[in-house]
Every structure is written in structure tokens, then in C-alpha cells.
Structure 1
Amino acid sequence: MTARQSQATPEDGESAGPASGGLLRSGLVVSTMTMLSRVLGLARDVVIATLFGAGSGADAFFVAFKIPNFMRRLFAEGAFNQAFIPVLSEYATQRTREEVRELLDAVAGSLGVVLALISAVAMLIAPWLVWLFAPGFSADPGKLALTADMLRLTFPYLWLISLTAFAGSVLNTWNRFAVPAFTPVLLNLSLIGAALGLTPWMQDPSMALAWGVLIAGVVQLGFQVPFLARLGLMPRPWPNFRHPGVRRILTLMAPALFAVSVSQINLLLDTVLASLLASGSVSWLYYSDRLVELPLGVFGVALGTVILPALSKRHAEQSPEHFAKMLDWALRAVLLIGLPAGLALILLAEPLLVSLFHYGAMTDHDIVMAARSLRAYALGLLPFMLIKVLAPGYFARQDTKTPVKIGVFAMLANMVFNLLLIWPLAHAGLALATALSACFNAGLLGWGLKRRGVLQFQSGWGRYALTLGGGCMVMGGGLWWLAPEWHVWLDWGVWQRAATLLGLTLGGAVVYFGWLALCGVRLRHFRLRG
């Protein structure tokens, strides 16, 4: 141990840097919390679909929420997260505790000031932002004005949730994964409460949802503060753009702003183009995207969350062999879940949508339209998940230039696919274009890591691939054979729908994992120390 490292000794029993932990265990913790959040997210969407369907109010809210949410993923969970964690891991591993605190103070203050200014400007120019991101709304002045009013309420959420993401990045670096993973639950609870409790008090009922977003931002930030304080890492925000750590983070963020959020930019482009299509197109894309986000968030995002701090630590310790093993482990885990999940979404598109959303204002036509885009998005589920674990392979090594180059190519490909597919397939063409560009993005990321020798496939891939393929075939055949025609589901009540869907889901999982067990795949094969 060097003299510098010995200075980073615990204070009050806390370690200065993150301790190693099992990646499988950490991933399961994040997955469990994320599953709870996603289930409540689906409950939230059921409430919204029941109260507002796919009408103008729902379209207005989805756009007003998507704009700050897009920027949140871009700045907070996207570029900032990917740039901040490697630098913080290096400080925690190689610097003193006091230097770590100085970094946190400077980053919290600088981030807070920048995002406060962005939020203030966005609130002032809300109508122009709506016109920029949803130009089709300009044909309906009432819809445009409603969306702008909502945006003025939802945009401060960017400032609040970005500081929440900052706190979550610190907790993740110190292997406190459960708290940040649980935090999104509070967003869903806030929106459900606002939809049910505030709607009767609003002149326009859909405005209750915008208030729910603002409330959620305050609650989520307040929830994480005590856990930072318990670690002794509660920052005293003070802007300092000259701090070496802040300058390095900004340098890494510049290209990462685009690279890490290519998929989000593609989804936003879908919203822009969908606003020009038939009324309801924005909502159809939203509901189908939400179903794809369930396995993506529970497994893909969870793996990306735990793999980045672990890879960053191994890079700081100059351990390339362990780095390569972690990437290989992550790819196997992604395929284990991504392949059957994407297939299930394709086979059960209408039953899923009927069971979750076909209530109140949601019509049969809405189900048919949303199912088309759901199947298209499902084709991109595995590539989306691969991006979540391949991109950290670059960011952990503090290489943000390569992903941005790949992101530019993927962005251009998405635009071409959009123009080719929107006319024959309408909103489903937009979803398919996003899926195809994700395939392109993931392929280039993987090829780049392989060419640099960073990604080194371990032994046993041939047998593993055949085993997963066989499992998917058996599971898919069973679902196709047993699932009733989707029109039948329309005549059922909520409990019959839920029971049948649960039975199909559990049955498919038992068949799939049973096949893997017969082929010799065991849980211990996925245990790896972080």
C-alpha cells in the first residue's frame, strides 16, 4: 500500500473507497428493486390509460414528461453518470478522503448551477420547446398550450432528478445499490397518487400528472440525502469549474452527451415524427415502449449499473484480465434474459397490452396499433441491453470518443430507417427503425472492444449459444401453442386476464430455465467478484 493510499483510511468506521462485492448479488439487488419500480410503473400506466386513454391530454403529458426525462437521461443518468463514476472511482481508490469530499462538493455545486439555469430558460421558452419536439401539435393550439403549461411544471424535475442521480452515483460507487434502485418507485407512487388524488381538482384533469412529476422530484432527492450523510459523503455544494476532477468530468461528458444516449435520442425522434402521424401515435409508441422498458430496466440497466463501477475499479487497478472476464460475464447474462424476454414480448404483444391497458378510455383499435410498435421495439430489446453493458467497457477506461463516433453512425442509420419505414408502417416503422439502429450500435460497440483486445470471449460460448437457442425454441413453441387468441382476452375480466398472463409467464419461465438446467447451466456459473 502506498503512502497516498494509506491516507484514505476509514473515518468513523467507513471505508474511503468502495469495497469489492459479488456482481451477481449486486445485480440481483438492483434487479429486484427495479422490478418493483417497473411493476409500479406499469400500474401507473394502467391508471393513466384508464383515465386518459390515448387522447390529447395523454399525448400532451407524454411529450411534456419526455422532454425533461430525455434530458435527465442525457445529462444525469447518461453522460454525467458515465463520466462521473470512473473519475470518482479513481479518486476513491487513489486519493485521500478529503480529496474525495472536495470533488463531491465541486461537482454537486457545478452540476446544480448549470441545471438550474437550463431549467429556468426551458420554462421561459416552453411553447417553443414543445413546437421543436412535437411540431405536429402546432396544428392544435389548445394541445400545444396545454403541453407548454405542463412543461413548465415538469422541467424543474430535471434539476431535482439530476442531483438525485448524482447522489445515486456516489452510493453505487460505494456498493450501496439498493437505495438508488429503489428511488424510481417514489416517482411511480407520486404519479399514481397525483392521478387519483389531484385530477378532480384540476381544470384540465391531465395537469395532475404534471404536478405529480414535480412532487416526485422533491421526494426522490429527499429520500437519498440521509444515506449520503450516513456514509459521511454529504456534499457541501460549491461551484468550482476549475477543480481538476470537474474539468476531467466535463471533458469526458462532452462526447458522452451524445454517445450514451443515442437510444434516447432515437426514441425522441420517434416522438417528433409520431406527432405528425394520426392522433394517438405518440401514446401507442409510449405504451409499447413501456413494456419493452420493463425487461430492459430490470436486467439491462441493472447490469449496466453494477458493471460500470466494477469495471472502473479494475481499470484503475490495471487489471485487464479481470476487466475482460467481467465483460464476458455481462454479455452472457444479457443473452440469458434478453433472448427469451424479446421473444415473449413478440408472442404475447396483444395479451400484454389488453391485460394492462384495455380499460376505460383505451379502445380495441389502440391495442392493435400499440401491438404493432411493441413487436417492432421487441426486436431491439437484446441490442438495447447489449448497449447497456458494452458502452461501460469504453467509459470505464475513460474513452468517450469512440462511443460518440459509433453513436453518430447509429443516429444517421436511425434517420435513414425512419424515412424508409415511416410511410409503409407509420408509427410501427418508427419503432422498427429504432430497433435496427440499436442493432447497428451494439454491433459496432462490440466489434470495437474486440478489436482493441478489451473484449475477450472466454471458453464455452458455442455450447452456451446452442443451449440458449434451444431454450428459446421450446419456450416460444409452448407460448404459441397455449396462449389464447387475443380477441378472447377482450371478453375476460381483469382477474382472468391477470391469472392467464401470470400462468403463461411462469410456465414459459419454468420451461426455459428447466431446459437450461437440463443442459447443465447452473447459478454458480454466473458468480463473479466485482
Structure 2
Amino acid sequence: MSFSGRASLMSAGFLLSLALMMGRLAGFLREIMLASFLGLSIQADVAIILLTIPDLLVNLLLSGGIGVALIPTLKSLSAKKSSALFFQASLVVGLVFTAVSVLFILLPSACFWVLAPGLPEPLQYLESWMVYIIAVAIPLTALSGVSTAVLNSRNKFFVSGCGTLIFNLSIIASLLVATIRGEQYLAWLCFGIFCGVVIRWWSQLLAMGDAVLNRSVLRHEWLVSSFLLRKFLVGLASSSLLVVVPVILRAGATNLGEGELAAFNYAIKLVELPIGIFITTLATVAFPQLSAAHTGIDPAAFGRLLSDVIQRSLALSAAVVLCGVPFIDSVVYLLFSSGRVDIEGLHHITILAQIALLSVPFVAVSSLAATALNASGRSKLVLINTCVVVLLLFLFCIPGLLLTEPVILMGALPVFYMVYSFYLVRAVERKTLKQGLMIVTLGIRYFFVIGGVVFVSILIDAFILRIVLGSQSLWIVSVCRVCLAGITFMISLVAGIYVKRMSQE
């Protein structure tokens, strides 16, 4: 690849990362606003279910199926055939998900029960038009998945990446209107969801230009083959199963009482933010390099690269967990205390987030193991292992549900990722014991060194900050503690890099 080609690729990657990051941050702001306006109430639970429907659909479609099936095919076709395939794929997807929306209209109670089986009569909080407007949003969301694939195939990454940002900004605007009017938060939320999916889809159509909207596509031969459909289903299954993990946990939380779904949602979103910034990015960057090493039939280079990225991910995850657990209460206070969440609710979210943080190291290992398997052409193993462990998740949830204990139910999340990482590491390296011991040894080393840094920070917090700031407001104390956590995190990363270099000498 030429220098200009590499520069163009890096620029596109940066723009896509920027758009996705802005969308993720806007989504996090959306959750903060929901907590501020609705607290840990049953209305907050219903609001999260309403958001889960388009969110889940987008994640399922964009994380795997449509992109895996359409992008390579679109790149191989001429401009005319590409336009025809876009139209035909939109027609098929639109019809399928229109049928899904009709089912949602006919059986709304059943659909809500699947997502929140323990929530008592959620439809009593919704007027009939709200159900219809969410139903209309379903096929429009699916159609945006097709247009996103077309934009990515034409290297228009920034526009496609802004889809989530547009959707979340629309919801934020609707919640602000509801706040000004002081009423009907759920009604305005439904309106915001509808506006978000419409604006996202039309912005993508406009970005594609007239080339995909000409009349000649109506007379073109049929291009949506059975092979393309099978490719879509395989990509959907292998890439998107993990998306349902938080959905399953939130659904189980509805059996534990009013507001538990919202509490689980806020805690999981807190943990997903550092995972998305650090762990997912590392796996994405490592994938093409691992693929190149595998293609070049260089197992030694493949092993060295995999070991290097695992060490980096363990250092990052150790810093996230050890800096997060003692200080996340201040983060929760700053984010959620300004609204309707009381002190008891803040404490509850803090405990759940601390438990969820324990999953970060296992998410790091499992994501890199999955990346290694995909890079070496063993995607089938990822699919099989993911299916097995997702089924086991239901067993992991049983103790928390039987004991009606939210903390135990949230404990199913780190247990799930621990088992999942073990399965994938075993698939990557047949010498399971040797590979497992290497990862455990590295993990203990990083946690021990970074733990020392965090321990000093905890002492500073306990014997200096709390004494000096004892007369200040809780808000000021929380800001100072979060700043201390940020400084500790940076020092922890430096310590992790030092340990990594020492281990390589």
C-alpha cells in the first residue's frame, strides 16, 4: 500500500473512531439524563425497554450480519449493481422488519415480557400511539443498517459512524423538551426515538447521493441470493450474540423489584464506557496485524503479537479495575446525584458497578482471543464457544434470581466473561494449561504492581483528602476524588508499561 493509501486509511479510521466515540458519549449522556429525570422508578425501567428495542436492533444488525454479508459483495460490484443490491437488500430487510413491527403491534405485551419479564404491566404507562411509533421505528432502524453498510463499502465512514450520535442527540433533545414542559417524559422519549431513526436514515440516504436512488435499480436482475442470506445469518450469529448479554441481565433484574432494571442499566453503561475506549479499540487495531501474521504463515510472529496485545490489555484492565473500584462511588455521585436518584439508590448503583468492573480483565482476554481466532480463520470456533457460554449465562443468573439478590445476579456478568475467556483461550492454544498459566501469571503481576500504586492513592484519599476537605460539600469532595483517580490511572499505566518492558528483557 502506498503512503497516500495508508494515510487515507488512517484518516478514515480516525474519523470513524471519532464518530463512534461521540455517539458512545452521547449515549452515556442520555443515560445520565434518564437517571436525572426518572431515577430508579418503574417509569425509568419502561424508558430503558423502549430504548432497548432500537438499540438492540442496531447492535445486532451493525455488529455482524448486514456488514459481514453486504460490504464485501458491494465492494466487488459495479456502481450500477451496487445500487441495485442496496435497493433490493433494503426491500427485503424492510419487509422482514415490517412484519416484526406488525407482530410488535399485535403482541406488545409479549414483546415487553421478553425484555422485562418481571415488570408489572408496562403498557399501562404507554398510550397506544407510543406503541405504534416504536413499531414504525423498527423497520426504519433496520433500513439504516443497510445504508450504513453501503456507506462503509464506499469509505464514507464518518457519516455512517455518526448514525448513533444522531439518534442519541435526538433523544437528548426530546428529553430536554420534556424537562422544559415538566411532563410526559415517556411520550417525548418515544417521539425522540422516532425522530432519531428517521433523521439517521435520511442523512445516510443523502450522503449516498443520487447514484443509489435512480430508477434503473427497479429493472435490475435479482441480486439477493441464498448465499448472501446465509452469510448474513452466520455473521449475525457469530458477531452479535454478546450483545444480548446485558439484555439478559437487565431482563432478570426486573424480577428483583422496581427500578432494578434501571440500576443494572446505569451500572453496566458505566463499565462499558472504559471497555469501549480501551479494550475494544485494542482488539480492533490488533486484528489486521494478526491477520497479516497468519496470512504470512508466521506462527512465531503471530504468537509474539498476541502475547504483546494480551499484556497491554491486562495492564489496561488492571488499571481500570483497581482505580475504578475504590473511586467509582464519586463518579456515580457526580453523574447521578443531581436528579431523582436518592443516596440509597446511588449506593446501590455503586455496588453493582463495582461488581461489573470485575468483568473487565476477562472481557479483555476474551475479546483478544476472539480476535486471534477470527484473524486465523477460525470464526466457527468463536461462534460455537459463544453459543455455549451464552446458554450457560442463564444458569449463572439462577442464584441471584432465587435469592432475589441484585449483587449476586450482577455477579453473573464477571463469571460469564471468566468462563468465556477460558473457552476462547483454550481454542486459541491447545496447550491450555500453559497458555492459561501464562495469562494468570501476567495478570497477577500487573494487578500486584498497579495495586501498589492504587493502595498509595487510597491512603492519600483516606488521610489527606477526606481530612482537608472534610468541611467541603460532597460535590467538591467527589470532584477531587475523581481527579485523584484519574492521576492514579495515568501513573498505573506508566507502571504497567514498565512491568511489560521488564518482562521482555
Q: How does 1:343-492 map to 2 (within 5 A)?
A: 343-393=322-372, 401-424=380-403, 426-451=405-430, 468-469=446-447, 472-483=450-461
**How many percent identity over aligned positions?**
17
Corresponding position: 1:130 with 2:112: yes
State the TM-score, normalizing by the size of structure 1. 0.77
Task: Give the drift of 1:195.
Answer: 0.9
Contact 2:86 2:146 (8 Å CA) reproduced: no
Task: Specify which of 304, 307, 316 is matched with residue 337 of structure 1.
Answer: 316
Task: Give the drift of 1:516.
Answer: 4.4
Distance in structure 2 (CA, Å) of the matches to 1:32 and 1:498: 29
Taking only aligned residues, the RMSD between alpha carbons, in angstroms, comes to 4.5
Distance in structure 2 (CA, Å) of the matches to 1:240 and 1:471: 63
Equivalent position of 2:486 in the other structure? 506
Equivalent position of 1:9 in the other structure? none
1:136 alignment partner, SS class:
coil
Q: Which amino acid counterpart does residue 344 of structure 2 have in structure 1?
A: H
Unpaired runs of 5+ in structure 2? none
Distance in structure 1 (CA, Å) of the matches to 2:127 and 2:220: 34
Equivalent position of 1:39 in the other structure? 25
Distance in structure 1 (CA, Å) of the matches to 2:89 and 2:145: 12
Contact 1:80 1:249 (8 Å CA) reproduced: no
Task: Give the drift of 1:319.
Answer: 4.5
Task: Give the drift of 1:375.
Answer: 1.6
Distance in structure 1 (CA, Å) of the matches to 2:149 and 2:237: 19
Distance in structure 1 (CA, Å) of the matches to 2:290 and 2:136: 31
Task: Specify which of 134, 138, 143 is matched with residue 154 of structure 1.
Answer: 134
Task: Give the drift of 1:194.
Answer: 0.7
Equivalent position of 1:107 in the other structure? 89
Task: Give the drift of 1:61.
Answer: 0.7
Task: Specify which of 98, 122, 128 is matched with residue 116 of structure 1.
Answer: 98
State the TM-score, normalizing by the size of structure 2. 0.80
Distance in structure 2 (CA, Å) of the matches to 1:447 and 1:463: 16
Corresponding position: 1:270 with 2:249: yes
Unpaired runs of 5+ in structure 1? 1-14, 526-530
Distance in structure 2 (CA, Å) of the matches to 1:247 and 1:311: 32
Q: 1:207 to 1:390 in 2, by over 3 A?
A: farther
Q: 1:379 to 1:517 in 2, by over 3 A?
A: closer
Equivalent position of 1:12 in the other structure? none
Q: Which amino acid counterpart does residue 479 of structure 2 have in structure 1?
A: A
Q: Which amino acid counterpart does residue 278 of structure 1 have in structure 2?
A: G
Task: Specify which of 72, 79, 87 is matched with residue 65 of structure 2.
Answer: 79
Q: 1:477 to 1:147 in 2, by over 3 A?
A: farther
Corresponding position: 1:55 with 2:37: no
Task: Give the drift of 1:199.
Answer: 4.7
CA displacement, residues 339-373 of structure 1 (integer Å, 9 cap, x when unaligned): 32233332223212111101221011111221222
Task: Give the drift of 1:377.
Answer: 1.4
Distance in structure 1 (CA, Å) of the matches to 2:478 and 2:292: 45
Higher mean C-alpha deviation, range 493-502 or range 66-75: 493-502
Q: Which amino acid counterpart does residue 477 of structure 1 have in structure 2?
A: F
CA displacement, residues 111-159 of structure 1 (integer Å, 9 cap, x when unaligned): 3332233223323322221123222223xx4x33325855543344443
2:347 alignment partner, SS class:
helix
Distance in structure 2 (CA, Å) of the matches to 1:493 and 1:160: 47
Q: How does 1:257-296 map to 2 (within 5 A)?
A: 257-296=236-275
Q: 1:83 to 1:328 in 2, by over 3 A?
A: farther
Q: 1:76 to 1:43 in 2, by over 3 A?
A: closer
Corresponding position: 1:188 with 2:168: yes
Q: Which amino acid counterpart does residue 117 of structure 1 have in structure 2?
A: A
1:285 alignment partner, SS class:
helix
Task: Specify which of 207, 217, 230 is matched with residue 251 of structure 1.
Answer: 230
Task: Give the drift of 1:41.
Answer: 2.9
Distance in structure 1 (CA, Å) of the matches to 2:21 and 2:261: 25
CA displacement, residues 303-336 of structure 1 (integer Å, 9 cap, x when unaligned): 555666x489869x95554887876665455334
Which has the higher relative contact order, 1 or 2, with Cα contacts under 8 A spaced 6 or more apart? 1
Contact 1:126 1:148 (8 Å CA) reproduced: no
Q: 1:161 to 1:423 in 2, by over 3 A?
A: same
Bigger helix share: 2
Equivalent position of 1:221 in the other structure? 201
Task: Give the drift of 1:169.
Answer: 3.8
Equivalent position of 2:192 in the other structure? 212
